[in-house]
Amino acid sequence: MSENKNFTIGITQGDINGIGYEVIIKSLCDNRIMEICTPIVYGLSKVASYHKKLLDLPDFSFQLGKNVEQISLKRPNLINLFDDEVKIDLGNSTKIAGQMSERSLYAAGRDLKNKMIDAIVTAPINKNNIQSDKFKFSSHTEFFEHYFGGKEHPAMTLMVAEQLRVGFATNVLPLKDVTKAITTENIMQKIRILNNSLKNDFAISNPTIAVLSLNPHSGDEGLLGGEDTNIIKPAISQAFSEGVNVFGSFPAESFFGSGEYTKFDAVLAMYYDQGMVPFKLLGKQGVNFTAGLPIVRTSPAHGTAYDIAGKNIADAQSMRNAIYLAVDILRNRKRGL
């Protein structure tokens, strides 16, 4: 599809009871989106119509089709995955919503694998109701790593905003399991993924990376734990010897509080809250990007937001930024070939 004027971006519908359709439709009302890509929503036409009515957008409509061959290059598209009526229960987690989230994700994934689309932008899912005999992943990142990566292409969550990029050494884990997941080999792997992504996906020729410490005050020379001295710093030294401009480890509280993060192209956090809390505070309208894979997948940096679903108050800028970033990365990768 990339032989067309613009890249073709698949958009999964996410949880039909959340704000997914609201931010999707609001984003696609922006004519700038159509100028840079051809969007295709993998969803349900009746559900999309329901949400469109809530938004009071009579002039907006999708080009409906059953497959990518039927899309329009001039209008937002929707591939209808299910003709039957589906119960919408705004603000609540339901089994059918999870099933429809899963169906959308696999349909878009198949088209991406078959090169029918160029990238995927995922609307938020509920990580509990989507679980099934087939889908046993804790998040989108693990799903895309399994579907497109594997041992040859391990994935990493990379949160992206204008002045801040934060990667994670571990996936979303219970805090009690984080230390067990921190190894020199794992840190090395994530530093390499981050360095390669900054070069290939963000066109930064000589990137700099900061690594955060696991323990407060970088362990205080072992007083507060030996992981920073015995595990993290050897990984940093090895990566630096390989030509990666990586530095640390930095205590998280002073690193962000002093603005030190502005001196680096990206930051590698050790665990979810350590990186996500400052990102949400500092990185407005951010994007979640799955780095390390041969495909491009982005998403808005927010969840289903059940509490405001159907109220027409959700801000769509993060979803728009996710679409923009997917196109930017595709362009950077194409230039780098």
DSSP string, 110-159: HHHHTTSSSEEEEPP--TTTT--SS---SSHHHHHIIIIITTSS--EEEE
**What pTM value is reported for the model?**
0.94
Give the tens place of pLDDT for each residue, 282-298: 988 999 999 999 999 99
Q: Give the whole-angstrom CA distance, residue 299 versus residue 315.
A: 14
Distance set, CA 178 to CA 213, 231, 248, 249 (Å): 13, 13, 19, 17
For the 1-156+285-337 domain, the top CATH level (class) is: alpha beta
Domain with CATH 3.40.718.10 in the chain: 1-156+285-337, 163-283
Question: φ and ψ at 220, to 5 degrees?
Answer: 50, 55
Rounded Cα gap, residues 65 and 45, in angstroms: 9
pLDDT at 1: 41
Q: What is the dihedral of CA 50, 54, 59, 65, to 10 degrees?
A: -20
pLDDT for the residue 283: 81
Q: What is the DSSP letter of 269?
A: E
Based on DSSP, count helices (H) and strands (E) in the chain, helices before strands. 12, 12
Q: What is the pLDDT of residues 40-66, one digit of tens each?
A: 999 999 999 999 999 998 889 999 999
pLDDT-derived band at 311 (thresholds 50, 70, 90) equals very high
**Type and span of the H or E element at 223:** none
Q: Which of 178-192, 214-228, 244-258, 301-315 has the lowest mean pLDDT?
A: 214-228
pLDDT score, position 215: 79
What pLDDT does 225 receive? 60
What is the residue type of 146?
H
Contact 271, 169 (CB under 8 A): yes
Tens-place pLDDT, residues 58-98: 889 999 999 999 999 989 999 999 988 899 999 999 999 99
Residue 150: Cβ within 10 Å count? 11
What per-residue confidence (pLDDT) applies to 222?
A: 60
Percent of the chain topping pLDDT 90: 81
Cα three-residue angle 227-231-235, rounded to 5 degrees:
145
Residue range 197-256, pLDDT digits in tens = 999 999 999 999 999 999 776 655 665 566 888 999 999 999 999 999 999 899 988 999
The CATH superfamily holding the domain 163-283 is Isopropylmalate Dehydrogenase (3.40.718.10)
Average pLDDT over residues 263-270: 97
Under DSSP, is residue 42 helix (H, G, I), strand (E, B) or coil? strand
Write the single-letter amino acid at 215: N
Distance CA 289, CA 284 (A): 15
Please answer whether residues 65 and 34 qualify as being in contact, where contact means their C-beta atoms are separated by less than 8 angstroms: no
pLDDT tier at 118, thresholds 50, 70, 90: very high
Question: What's the confidence (pLDDT) of residue 221?
Answer: 61
